[in-house]
Amino acid sequence: MSDDQRARQGSQKINHEQLCWWLFLASSVFFVIVALRDGDILSIMGAALFFAAVVVYLVGERR
């Protein structure tokens, strides 16, 4: 495998991983919406923590 093919394969892996994290972020938004709609404080706290954890990870990856 050439260096160019390895570089493209590595960038595809990163793009795939980033896509997965963006999907986690989208799912956490829906968890927050459902928790707010139900009004359960424990669900709201859990969903908010999940959302915050994904955002912190994504911000850390950009640096």
Domains identified in the chain, total number: 1
Residue 26: inside a domain? yes
Residue 59: inside a domain? yes
pTM of whole model > 0.85? no
Give the span between the Cα atoms of 14 and 17, in whole angstroms: 5
Give the span between the Cα atoms of 20 and 33, in whole angstroms: 20
Residue 50: inside a domain? yes
Rounded to the nearest 10 degrees, how much is the dihedral formed by the CA atoms of 31, 33, 38, 39? Answer: 110
Residue 56: inside a domain? yes
Instruction: Tell me the pLDDT of the chain (63 aa) as tens digits.
Output: 566 655 565 556 667 888 888 899 999 999 999 999 999 999 999 999 999 999 999 888 777
Q: If DSSP codes are grouped into helix, strand and coil, which group holds residue 5?
A: helix
Q: For tokens 């989208």, what's the residue?
A: 26
Domain that holds residue 32: 21-63
Residue 8: inside a domain? no
Residue 2: inside a domain? no
